[in-house]
């Protein structure tokens, strides 16, 4: 694999691309070459002076790709820790030296024997070998009898000798990083219009931007400003942007800082996962002061320096003996704490939880269990099950936050073991409601204490989650303006609760479901059709000749809504998909020859009047979250690879661009140097996207991921 050191005096070509007249490249193989092993090989030695000189040379020649702590990045392999020891430990150092001296490819051996031996000495020191009195020989022939001393494999990622270095570091000097300012708590509560600092731009989770340079009059001129190839894999990324620097978090636990105007890479970081952890898709990162907060696939929270990507601290989230917890959400930062929920399905005993980590110390501040404990409030809602028999409560989505009330709002998902809740046990004072699944929970942001909860759907037997964004919206209710929490479940029923008390206010049923026959207008309690839940031991035959509406993918899912606070209109990405539980065939709830095969739709709902203003159907189901702007535009992406801008007033398509893959992520917009940009990430698809591809008969590339950024021409 190739490691390139980029000359730090770039010239700009007329097209704005960087041209580097000098590139010094280094090559290391994934595995050691086949050289006969001599059991009499002696451990290689070196002096402290050699290692110190080697450090300077390594930082100059190799660190930009292999990392300042030899931790590697993507195609540049790690030169330390388990990765290095497995490949080179107890093997001839001559083989390692021979590979090292093949660099740069354009001038093999061009660094000179002394420099190569110094870099080797530094690599040995960074891999736990202590210096001695005998220098490492410079000539290959003199290395023949020596070996790389193998180090014991470690359970944790390699800890570098130089504190704080666990990054590839800046690839070249840039004014964007030099001018990066700290992000205060006040900025997170009221982000600058130019930036995108939070998952849905603000902690109200509205998905709306006040930018209006791109509007309904000129959006048809939108053009690609730049693109960036991302590591292939499922990805739900929401980029963050601050002071003209875009932070992208991709599949494979790869973090990249990119010039948000030009698309130039500024620094990169890749997490080396523990051997039993698999890369997972996540919604993004958080930013606070000078830190980027990263949730990892091996269930850690990391803090990286936002200017350099260097590791500041690494907090392993304590999951006890459980190994099946994962993280899908992005962290949210509130009052100096990073707060995030965990996911995990049937195998996670005792369910999931939300955790807060202090951003100064990297230590846990509090946690809240989303599955009620047997001896705590709500503990009697699990049919008498012991704690180890309770599962679910995954937190798939970042929470929202109201600073006036100091409350966090989250939506835990249902349980995955529904059989144990089907029949009420003959025990006193118990129910099968299964708190706090399918609930909105309000937590004190400082302590994590539960302040109130409201359960939208008790004892969910159909996997009809209420696990999506909670939006904080001021709405008129019975002639009075109330601060509300608005959210909707898979049935496309949207409900409003009082933000301070959790009192039920109203529901809007968008008529995409056939399992709920009645909603109590005072409490929101729902009555299910008896045909929706079969008797124990029986198969669900269906509510009609067809079956259940919606299917398990829902009439709405992870694609988030957007709300324009100026107009009071909520824009909802949806799909019309029911399922016959006997045949598995999907179908539309209201078959119509004019709409046959139009699986996707967007609905505009006036939350003041609770009326649907317009509905636009389309062939492909939605893939992305929605984004509204003060320019009168709604940006939305569909599974058939189209990214569109539509008129918020009518749903008319004003501009569209075909992308390289499904935009199964969350679009953003930002402004740099007075110019507005719109960004969206594509990837090989989420579980939802892949499922809806099959429904609609769509075939997308099996791999590939990119970041697309659009702007008006200069």
What is the per-residue DSSP string for 341-394? E-B--TT-TT--EEEEEETTT--EEEEEESS--TTSTTGGGSTT--GGG-----
Q: Is 255 helix (H, G, I), strand (E, B) or coil?
A: strand
Q: What H or E segment, with its residue span, contains residue 94?
A: helix 93-100
pLDDT at residue 76, rounded to an integer: 66
pLDDT at residue 105, rounded to an integer: 62
Q: What is the pairing mode between strands 668-672 and 291-295?
A: unpaired
pLDDT at residue 547, rounded to an integer: 78
Domains of the chain (ranges; CATH) run 2-158 (1.10.760), 185-270+278-711 (2.140.10.10)
674: left (phi over 0), alpha (psi -120 to 50) or beta: left
Specify the length of the chain in residues: 714
Q: What is the pairing mode between strands 569-575 and 600-606?
A: antiparallel
The DSSP secondary-structure symbol of 170 reads E
- What is the full DSSP assignment across 548-614? BSS-TT-SS-SS--EEETTTTEEEEEEE--EE-TTT--EE-SS--TTTTT--EEEEEEETTTTEEEE
Q: What is the pairing mode between strands 146-147 and 42-43?
A: parallel
- Residue written as tokens 């944790």? 156
C-alpha of 356 from chain center: 17
Is the preceding peptide bond at 104 cis, omega within 30 degrees of 0?
yes
pLDDT at residue 164, rounded to an integer: 32
φ and ψ at 8, to 5 degrees? -90, 20
- Residue written as tokens 């909603």? 519
Q: What is the pTM of this model?
A: 0.80
Beta bridge partners of 26: 3
Burial of 552 (0-12, 13-18, 19+ CB in 10 A): middle
pLDDT at residue 2, rounded to an integer: 27
Beta bridge partners of 612: 605
φ and ψ at 86, to 5 degrees? -65, -35
Low-confidence ranges of the chain (pLDDT < 70): 1-40, 64-65, 72-76, 104-107, 153-175, 275, 345-347, 534-546, 580-584, 687-688, 692, 694-696
Return the half-sphere exposure (C-beta side, CA atoms, 13 A cut-off) of residue 57: 21
Cβ atoms within 10 Å, residue 273: 17
φ and ψ at 155, to 5 degrees? -80, -25
The DSSP secondary-structure symbol of 446 reads T
pLDDT at residue 81, rounded to an integer: 76
Cβ atoms within 10 Å, residue 176: 21
Q: Is 63 helix (H, G, I), strand (E, B) or coil?
A: helix
Token readout for 555 is 């009439």
pLDDT at residue 582, rounded to an integer: 65
Longest Cα separation, the chain:
89
Beta bridge partners of 477: 480
pLDDT at residue 22, rounded to an integer: 27
pLDDT at residue 11, rounded to an integer: 32
Instruction: Give the Cα separation of 684 and 663 in Å (integer).
Output: 9
């Amino acid at each position: 694999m190739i490691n390139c050191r980029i000359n730090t005096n770039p010239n700009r070509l007329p097209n704005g691309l960087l041209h580097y007249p000098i590139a010094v490249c280094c090559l290391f193989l994934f595995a050691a070459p086949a050289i006969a092993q001599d059991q009499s090989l002696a451990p290689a030695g070196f002096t402290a002076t050699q290692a110190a000189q080697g450090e300077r040379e390594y930082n100059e020649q190799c660190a930009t790709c292999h990392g300042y702590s030899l931790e590697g990045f993507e195609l540049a392999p790690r030169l330390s820790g388990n990765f290095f020891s497995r490949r080179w430990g107890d093997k001839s150092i001559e083989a390692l030296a021979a590979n090292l001296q093949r660099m740069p490819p354009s001038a093999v051996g061009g660094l000179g024997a002394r420099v190569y031996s110094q870099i080797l000495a530094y690599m040995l020191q960074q891999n736990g070998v202590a210096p001695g009195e005998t220098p490492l020989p410079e000539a290959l022939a003199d290395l023949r009898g020596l070996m790389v001393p193998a180090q014991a494999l470690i359970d944790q990622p390699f800890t570098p000798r130089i504190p704080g270095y666990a990054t590839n570091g800046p690839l070249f000097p840039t004014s964007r990083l030099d001018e990066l300012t700290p992000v205060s708590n006040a900025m997170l509560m009221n982000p600058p219009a130019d930036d995108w600092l939070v998952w849905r731009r603000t902690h109200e989770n509205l998905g709306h931007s006040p930018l209006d340079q791109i509007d309904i009059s000129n959006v048809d001129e939108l053009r690609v400003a730049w693109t960036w190839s991302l590591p292939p894999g499922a990805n739900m990324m929401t980029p963050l942007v601050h002071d003209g620097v875009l932070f992208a978090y991709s599949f494979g636990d790869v973090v990249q800082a990119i010039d948000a105007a030009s698309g130039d890479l500024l620094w990169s970081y890749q997490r080396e996962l523990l051997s039993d952890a698999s890369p997972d898709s996540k919604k993004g990162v958080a930013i606070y002061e000078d830190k980027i907060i990263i949730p990892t696939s091996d269930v850690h929270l990391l803090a990286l320096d936002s200017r350099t990507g260097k590791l500041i601290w690494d907090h392993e989230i304590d999951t006890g003996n459980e190994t099946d917890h994962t993280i899908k959400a992005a962290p949210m930062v509130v009052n100096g704490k990073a707060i995030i929920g965990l996911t995990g399905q049937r195998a996670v005993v005792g369910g999931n939880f939300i955790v807060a980590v202090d951003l100064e110390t990297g230590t846990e501040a509090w946690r809240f269990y989303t599955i009620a404990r047997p001896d705590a409030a709500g503990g009697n809602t699990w049919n008498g099950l012991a704690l180890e028999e309770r599962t679910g409560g995954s937190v798939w989505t970042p929470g929202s936050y109201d600073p006036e009330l100091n409350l966090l709002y989250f939506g835990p998902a249902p349980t995955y073991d529904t059989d144990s809740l089907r029949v009420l046990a003959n025990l006193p004072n118990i129910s099968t409601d299964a708190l706090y699944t399918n609930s909105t929970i309000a937590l004190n942001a400082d302590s994590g204490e539960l302040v109130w909860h409201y359960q939208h759907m008790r004892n969910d037997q159909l996997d009809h989650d209420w696990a999506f964004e909670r939006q904080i919206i001021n709405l008129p209710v019975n002639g009075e303006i109330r601060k509300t929490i608005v959210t909707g479940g898979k049935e496309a029923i949207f409900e409003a609760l009082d933000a301070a008390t959790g009192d039920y206010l109203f529901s809007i049923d968008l008529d995409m479901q056939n399992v709920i026959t009645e909603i109590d207008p005072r409490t929101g309690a729902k009555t299910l059709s008896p045909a929706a839940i079969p008797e124990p031991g029986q198969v669900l035959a269906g509510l009609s000749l067809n079956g259940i509406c919606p299917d398990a993918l829902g009439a709405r899912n992870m694609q988030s809504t957007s709300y324009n606070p100026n107009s009071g209109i909520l824009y909802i990405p949806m799909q019309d998909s029911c399922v016959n539980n006997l045949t598995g065939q999907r179908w539309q709830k209201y078959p119509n020859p004019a709409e046959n095969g139009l699986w996707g739709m967007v609905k505009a709902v006036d939350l003041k009047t609770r009326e649907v203003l317009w509905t636009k159907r389309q062939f492909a189901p939605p893939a992305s979250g929605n984004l509204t702007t003060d320019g009168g535009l709604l940006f939305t992406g569909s599974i058939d690879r189209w990214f569109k801008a539509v008129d918020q007033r009518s749903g008319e398509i004003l501009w569209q661009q075909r992308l390289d893959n499904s935009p199964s992520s969350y679009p953003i917009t930002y402004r740099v140097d007075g110019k507005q940009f719109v960004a969206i990430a594509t990837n090989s698809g989420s579980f939802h996207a892949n499922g809806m591809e099959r429904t609609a008969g769509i075939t997308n590339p099996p791999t590939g991921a990119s970041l697309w950024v659009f702007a008006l021409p200069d």
